[in-house]
Amino acid sequence: MFHYTVHTSLDVVEEKISGVGKALADQRELYLGLLYPTEDYKVYGYVTNSKVKFVIVVDSSNTSLRDNEIRSMFRKLHNSFTDVMCNPFYNPGDPIQSKAFDSIVSTMMVQAC
């Protein structure tokens, strides 16, 4: 069910991207905020300028993560992702196998728990 939730959240991401349109394009706000509240999860979204989508899913019972924490998590994720992309040996589209990226994600997960 979890993966289905993430999948359907793309609907909202697309809606937000298209809805934002040109008015917000200049402001470069990549964080899309809470996309999708469900009984069990809160789904947050983030879209890079090249339309790479990040989604963070937080358990609803987790109340320690507020909007600001999520925002900074996305920023960290984005930075690390950019590093991965800068690797000349990485082909876009391949599964990411970078240890650095992995450890960034793991530390965020540990912090969240």
Binding stretches for other proteins (CB under 8 A): 3-4, 7-8, 10-12, 14-15, 37-39, 51, 60-61, 63, 91-94
Nearer to other proteins, 37 or 103 (CB): 37
Q: Residue 44: count other Cβ atoms within 10 Å of its Cβ.
A: 23
Smaller CB distance to other proteins: residue 48 or 76?
48
Tell me how far, at minimum, the Cβ of 35 lies from other proteins, in Å: 11
CB of 47 to other proteins, least distance (A): 12
CB of 106 to other proteins, least distance (A): 20
| Number of neighbours of residue 70 by Cβ within 10 angstroms | 20
Instruction: Burial-class residue 100 by CB neighbours within 10 Å (0-12, 13-18, 19+).
Output: exposed
3-state secondary structure of 56: strand
The residue (of 7 and 75) whose beta carbon lies closer to other proteins is 7
Give the type of residue at 79: N
